[in-house]
Structure 1
Amino acid sequence: MARHVVGFGEEDLRALAGVRSFDRGLGYLDAVSGLEVGDGSVTATVHGTDVYEVELTLRDGIGVSGWCDCPYGQEGNFCKHCVAVGLTVLRQSEAIPRQRAAARARASRLEAWLTALSRDQLLALVREQIGEDRELRRRLELRAAAAHSDTGAVRDRILVLIDPRPFARYGYVEYADAARYARQVEEAADALRALASRGLAAQAVGLAEEAIRALGRAYEEVDDSDGVVGQAVGAVSEAHLEACSVARPDPDRLAEWLVGQALGDWNDAADLDPLDYADVLGPTGLARMRQLAAEARRRRPNGWAERYRMERLVKAEGDVDALVALYAKDLVPSGATHLRIAEELEAAGRADEALAWAERGLRDTAAEAHVDGRLADYVCTRYTQAGRTAETVAVRHDRFRVERSLVAYQQLRAAARTAGCWESTREAALAVLGEDACRDRGAGYRGPVLLDALLDDGDLDAAWREAVGRADDRQWQWLADLSRERRPADALAVYLRLIEPLKEPTGDRVYERMAQLLLKARDCHQAMGTEAEFTAQLADLRAELKRRRKLMTLLDRHGL
């Protein structure tokens, strides 16, 4: 009945939140207050570590979605607070239709009342609201200043909006206050756009540059873990670009400002890309910008910002040879720069030169253990397209001998199968991994790559032989999972051994892992026809851990 009325049920909340968050939400039912049901949404307050605002959106045929201003919720997750509000709604489901009807009636009455008011009455209402709400008054003052082209008033208001000090209770803007500060910065961006749209684009350019400088200084004192302030600063930067596109400022002056902004001490907030300004700068501005960037790079040849800006400028000019020469000055050991050069050359239609650079990258990095995997992928893809399968195998074999990883083994296998030489190639590869397994025995917590390769190949008999004394828990479980049907007794022994150390620790993750292992152990007993033995083992486990109520609940949920 509840699901029919509100459009969702407990199972929907559990699916959205996951077992962990759903179980935690059960503990917050008494912390929900201020539940307000609208036509298509529900809002409420949940008292947790802090006071959080929750909104559930209910859509016919789609179900429920949720938003919460807690850190986990702001990352886009359906958090425990959303679960608590959803469960509260389900408990009150019989009252939901009446509350929805009441919400629609309130909205309708408000609309009818506002429509019936005269101009003077509406003005009186607005004046009353701005007298009580300082933030609303400031927003409307800014709109009025922009509408009247009062640049002085707009400037003063923008500086107030981007000033972080009202939010900096302890000398910096805390995470909890960052979103409110970001909203003010976005208002400043809106005001700049409004100014430019009213024929004052040149003034908007100057104000935007002043705002960007101030925001660069302020950003150092903001906990912007979610990036909301950075996005708002980006809106100010976009307003600057839009105003420049209309005002067409002096190219040399704009180039000097952009370079100064990019290389200054306060450049973390606004990431201004010269490519975005290419049309406004024109050939003259781009040339001046490149000159300034080159001078800056001579002063700091290893500076990351100087190198990045120079690359972007050369790319904006479309000179591929100059860009290749620039990249070639700083070839990194991973081969990533060789790959960038190859991609630029290929994009310019120079495929042969691109492949030559990628091949050079493989030669230059032949002895490196950590190489950008995309470089070998690039070369192998081109070789395969050209039917050069033997050379593809050679590249994969060279990387495998250096990396000795499961991924390198898988890539070698795929290439060798295409070339029709996997049987002999596999024998040699396993011999290499076998030498590693003997040499590295007892050297760390991870099992040998040899065992991973055998498991990935599905060679279970060989894997069982190699596992004894070498496999880690991850590999033992992988082996047991693959062997449940053919060797249920051996797989069962593995599961029981893995369950044993889980009896000591506590927590949702531990309990879920124990439940999954028990389900697999049950499959093994069923395959052997020893279900009664499993029932007895499970009863003993429940008796031993009966005080862990959350574990008992989870086992019940899994039918154990």
Structure 2
Amino acid sequence: MVPPEDLLPLPEVVLPLIRASSRDLWRYAAANEQGARMHEGVELLEVALEDPDALPSQGIRAPTPRETHTTTHKALASAIRVIARADDSAGIIGDACRALIELHPHTAAVAGVPGVKLADWVYDFHFDDDVDYFELDPVAYAPALGEKGLARLRARIDALRAEISPVEPSQRFSRHDHRTFVVEWFDKRFAVLDRDHDAIIRTHLRDGRVAAWHEDVAKAFEEIGSTDLAIHWAERATLFDHGHQARRAADHWWRLHQEHRPEALPESAKTIFDRWPTAGTGARLVAVTGEDAIDSVQETLAARPTELVRFQLDTMRDPRLAWTSAERLALDEAGVWADLAKAYLPFDPIAAIGVQLRLVAGTLIEANTRKYRPAARELASIRKTAVTSGAEAIAVVDDTIADLRDRYKRRPSLIAALDRARLP
């Protein structure tokens, strides 16, 4: 146990983890290392909020609510400056920023930050000179803002709205105006905060041109606990068209039925399968309606060899039937063939190994040194399987390896990879 006099203040431990002195954050690896340190700082702040008395065991003095908030506030400001100059392709720093954004309103509420002052900061955050792609949620901040703070924030958004010139009907292309985005964001979140059904539809649906906006309405109603309306709008999004947005909305609709209307699952499963016939939607239909649906699912998927074989393999668990279908329908999906060959090994090792070898050989047609070692490892694994299957299987593998060595004898990197794998 660290003596009390040796305990460090929370800011002295957290802020160095968040801040970056490196000038190499443009490098992917350096940015990822920085992001990992930032997450360590975020975790300490979460402990400071939820269980501050646990920090002394980590050498940190238990902070007051005000100290926790002040540290979180400074950490968020520093994190925004960090991400502005970093290569955050992996999203690690961004995730740390979002974690701090999620934490900030809670620390502010516990610390009793003055609502009007907090409202001005929330507003000004959206006009940061360095980064403008994070938003703060007035719904999350409502407990900390209180009535006066919310009134102040609403007034500032209304004033901003008045500054924006209306779009001319003759304007061919919409102009990008960050102020417009900010107003639209707060209008949507205020509608949710107010639990105003009409405002939710107006702000989230917009002109209703795409399925995603219908799903946005569903999500907002779900957030305020209006389940029937959430289901209704999720269904509208699902039936909007056959595009990827509607397909994503279908999963939302399905989940809502699972959680709130299980009796409606068979009908929604049938609707989703009819609109997007895949192995996955077929499996879901069978799961809720029973095995009597298997024949009709196979009949529907017959025009989609990949989906049919995947359904027969994963849902029906019948590798022999799936193999027959794959051959009959000339399946050309390498990933499905790979899974199918693995499952078919107990029934016909020679045929299954032949497919595995063909798939590996296919990865070597184009000269690419990055593929040589994985291919050699896969060949070694196939040969190990062949050893347990008999001399004929071993001969098939060795003949293929010999053919590859001869065909690609002018690729020294490939030959070296085969040698390292101790292949014949």
- Contact 2:382–2:397, Cα closer than 8 Å, also in 1: no
Deviations 1:464-521 (A, max 9, x none): 2552572223344444333333344433443444455567766331122212333444
Aligned to 1:353: 229
Aligned to 2:145: 281
Aligned to 2:30: 176
- Contact 1:502–1:514, Cα closer than 8 Å, also in 2: no
Change (3 A) 1:454 1:508: same
The one-letter amino acid paired with 2:346 is E
Give yes or no for the alignment of 1:409 onto 2:282: yes
Deviations 1:423-445 (A, max 9, x none): 34543x14554xxx6xxxxxxxx
Aligned equivalents of 1:432 and 1:468: distance in 2?
A: 12
Aligned to 1:381: 258
- Contact 1:393–1:412, Cα closer than 8 Å, also in 2: yes
- Contact 1:212–1:270, Cα closer than 8 Å, also in 2: no
2:378 counterpart (513, 529, 545): 513
Aligned equivalents of 2:94 and 2:219: distance in 1?
A: 34
Aligned to 2:272: 396
Aligned equivalents of 1:161 and 1:463: distance in 2?
A: 55
- Contact 2:254–2:269, Cα closer than 8 Å, also in 1: no
Report matched runs for 1:1-400 at 5 Å.
Answer: 167-168=22-23, 176=30, 179=34, 216=80, 219-224=83-88, 227=92, 231=96, 242=107, 246=111, 248-249=113-114, 251-268=115-132, 272-296=136-160, 299=164, 303-319=180-196, 322-329=199-206, 331=208, 333=210, 335-346=211-222, 348-365=224-241, 367-370=242-245, 371-372=247-248, 373-378=250-255, 381=258, 385-386=262-263, 389=266, 391-400=267-276
Change (3 A) 1:330 1:307: farther
Q: Which has the higher strand share?
A: 1
| Structure 1 residue 317 displacement after superposition | 4.5
Deviations 1:193-212 (A, max 9, x none): 99xx79998xx97x997996
Aligned to 1:423: 295
- Contact 1:219–1:268, Cα closer than 8 Å, also in 2: no
SS in 2 for 1:282: helix
The one-letter amino acid paired with 1:329 is R
Q: Which runs of 5+ in 1 are unaligned?
A: 1-114, 116-125, 127-138, 144-157, 438-447
Deviations 1:395-442 (A, max 9, x none): 134322xxx433233334434427x44434543x14554xxx6xxxxx
| Structure 1 residue 452 displacement after superposition | 3.6
Deviations 1:338-369 (A, max 9, x none): 4454455456554333332223223323x435
Aligned to 1:63: none
The one-letter amino acid paired with 1:460 is R
- Contact 1:290–1:314, Cα closer than 8 Å, also in 2: no
**Percent identity over paired residues:** 21
The one-letter amino acid paired with 2:30 is A
Change (3 A) 1:422 1:475: closer
| Structure 1 residue 261 displacement after superposition | 1.1
- Contact 1:467–1:476, Cα closer than 8 Å, also in 2: no
Aligned equivalents of 2:111 and 2:351: distance in 1?
A: 75
SS in 2 for 1:292: helix
Aligned equivalents of 1:491 and 1:163: distance in 2?
A: 55
Deviations 1:92-123 (A, max 9, x none): xxxxxxxxxxxxxxxxxxxxxxx9xxxxxxxx
SS in 1 for 2:290: helix
- Contact 1:406–1:449, Cα closer than 8 Å, also in 2: yes
Aligned equivalents of 1:499 and 1:475: distance in 2?
A: 14
Report matched runs for 1:514-553 at 5 Å.
Answer: 514-523=379-388, 526=389, 531-536=390-395, 548=415, 551-552=418-419
| Structure 1 residue 286 displacement after superposition | 1.0
Aligned equivalents of 1:267 and 1:500: distance in 2?
A: 48
Change (3 A) 1:549 1:222: closer
Give the TM-score, by structure 2 length: 0.63
Change (3 A) 1:213 1:376: closer
SS in 2 for 1:364: coil
Deviations 1:141-183 (A, max 9, x none): x98xxxxxxxxxxxxxx9x99997x64379x798538739978
Q: Which has the larger radius of gyration?
A: 1
SS in 1 for 2:239: helix
Give the TM-score, by structure 1 length: 0.50
Deviations 1:217-236 (A, max 9, x none): 56422345574597489769
Q: Which has the higher contact order (CA 8 A, sep 6+)?
A: 2
Aligned to 1:95: none
Aligned to 2:49: none
- Contact 1:338–1:361, Cα closer than 8 Å, also in 2: yes
Aligned equivalents of 1:515 and 1:540: distance in 2?
A: 13
Aligned equivalents of 1:274 and 1:168: distance in 2?
A: 35
| Structure 1 residue 259 displacement after superposition | 0.8
Aligned equivalents of 2:273 and 2:17: distance in 1?
A: 60
- Contact 2:139–2:193, Cα closer than 8 Å, also in 1: yes
Give yes or no for the alignment of 1:491 onto 2:372: no
Q: Which runs of 5+ in 2 are unaligned?
A: 46-51, 53-59, 165-176
2:330 counterpart (451, 466, 470): 470
Aligned to 1:56: none
